[in-house]
């Protein structure tokens, strides 16, 4: 969880797309985990319910 929050707070959005199927943005966020290793998150941003869902971690 700490690694996820580190990248979410300090990483950069590499790409984002609107998903008609899920009616939300799907974003690729890249950054460093707390140990300094590269980490990529794929998240879904649900603006209607004010939520962020983790789809996958690479």
Strands (E), 1-58: 12-19, 24-32, 38-46, 51-57
Residue 9 near residue 32, CB atoms below 8 Å? no
pLDDT of the residue at 55: 87
> For residue 48, what pLDDT is reported?
87
Q: What pLDDT, on a 0 to 100 scale, did the predictor assign at position 9?
A: 95
Structure confidence at residue 38 (pLDDT): 96
The pLDDT value recorded for residue 57 is: 81
Residue 12 has phi, psi (to 5 degrees) of: -120, 145
Distance CA 14, CA 58 (A): 14
Q: So what's the pLDDT on residue 35?
A: 96
Residues of the chain with pLDDT below 50 are none
Cβ neighbours around 56 below 10 Å, total: 9
């Amino acid at each position: 969880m700490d690694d996820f929050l580190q990248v979410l707070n300090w990483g950069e959005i590499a790409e984002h797309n609107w998903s008609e199927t899920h009616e939300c943005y799907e974003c690729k966020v890249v950054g460093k985990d707390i140990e300094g290793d590269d980490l990529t998150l794929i998240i879904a941003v649900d603006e209607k319910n004010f939520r962020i869902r983790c789809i996958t971690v690479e």
